[in-house]
Structure 1
């Protein structure tokens, strides 16, 4: 699987995660469209958070840590609201839409 952004083909694994991180906003739009997600400000808040965590730690957080951290910057953020943004799983689908490689398995950090 691959995504084409501005005429450039980006390699992805069989589940649609990029093989190498790409921090361009155009990438987020292309992946979100393929996932059937219409981006809102809350989606972008999650995307920026996941990208920051990946840059800082080399991987994205597990859902529990993600929920705790985002609760501090997104009023009313809870499990239900994150699943409304990323229905197949906020930690995994959020990382995919953010243009990041597939997250670690259960547990994260």
Structure 2
């Protein structure tokens, strides 16, 4: 499987995760999100940036939904509920968000 992006084939796994994390860019993230029917806004980028930071700076850890909720509650200055995060990434914040963020697929079952 691959994404067709800016005249190139971007290689992915069978589930749409980038094979080479170096292929990721903000523009590619917008393209992938668009394929899922998502227009990325500021809060989407907060989650994506958090997922990338955790993955690349924390021993390739892919945060689960509970961890994302806590981090976004801290960042956005108030309690964030699960519905708010799922409104951003309806298929699963850690999995769909991670795929758009260009990090490896989480092997955990469930997001919470």
TM range (shorter): 0.7 to 0.9
- TM-score, normalised by the number of residues in structure 2: 0.85
Contact 1:5 1:26 in 2 (8 A): no
- Who is 2:35 aligned against? 34
User: 1: CA distance between counterparts of 2:42 and 2:48?
Assistant: 10
Equivalent residue pairs, number: 108
Please report the RMSD computed on the Cα atoms of aligned residues, expressed in angstroms: 1.8
Q: Which runs of 5+ in 2 are unaligned?
A: none
Distance, in Å, in 1 between the alignment partners of 2:109 and 2:71 is: 18
The aligned counterpart of 2:72 is 70
Contact 1:20 1:101 in 2 (8 A): no
- Asked if the contact 2:62–2:104 (Cα under 8 Å) also holds between the matched residues in 1, the reply is no
> Which portions of structure 1, spanning 4 or more consecutive aligned residues, are displaced by more than 3 angstroms?
none
Runs of 5+ consecutive residues of structure 1 not aligned to the other structure = none
